[in-house]
Amino acid sequence: MDNFATCPKKWKRLHKYILSGNPTDIQDEHTPPIDTLPYKTQLSSLRKRLKSHEKQAIIEKYQAGESTRTLAKKYHCGHQTVSKVLKDAGIPLRYRPLTSEQIEQILRLREQGLSIVAIGKELDIPRSTVGDCVKLNSIT
């Protein structure tokens, strides 16, 4: 671990945690517990890396018709990661605009008082898409 000589203690501790896989192996009086690190640091440092066979499966399932968000849930990663895997493989992403039925349903639910997030979850549509639809149709 000579290359970590200049790193802060929390990074050394995190590196030990990743290598050991057992947080009790690295308890000492000089460094705080791993869960006291900022949450974003924990996520970015312990992020799951997709293996090549997982990437291939993502590509095959996407080409079979599954959405990037569905695949992201299956492989426990972000939809942006799935999109990057597909783009790196040279696979064009599908753009699926909202159908007129979906737009009507979004507007009806919004008029009933549902939040944009709730509508997105109910219809399995990204909340940003729901928000754009509501803005374009002038409903607040």
Question: Mean pLDDT over all residues of the chain?
Answer: 78
pTM: 0.47
Distance CA 71, CA 50 (A): 12
Residue-wise pLDDT tens digits, 78-108: 888 999 999 999 999 887 788 999 999 999 9
Distance CA 102, CA 116 (A): 14
Tell me how far apart the 2 most distant CA atoms of the chain are, in Å.
Answer: 62
**Which residue type does 56 have?**
Q
**What percent of the chain has pLDDT above 90?**
37
Enumerate the domain spans of the chain.
Answer: 2-45, 52-88, 100-136
Distance CA 80, CA 111 (A): 31
Contacts of 75 (CB under 8 A, 6+ apart): 50, 54, 58, 82
Q: Give the domain 100-136 fold.
A: Arc Repressor Mutant, subunit A (1.10.10)
Query: Backbone phi, then psi, for 65, in 5-degree steps?
Result: 120, -5
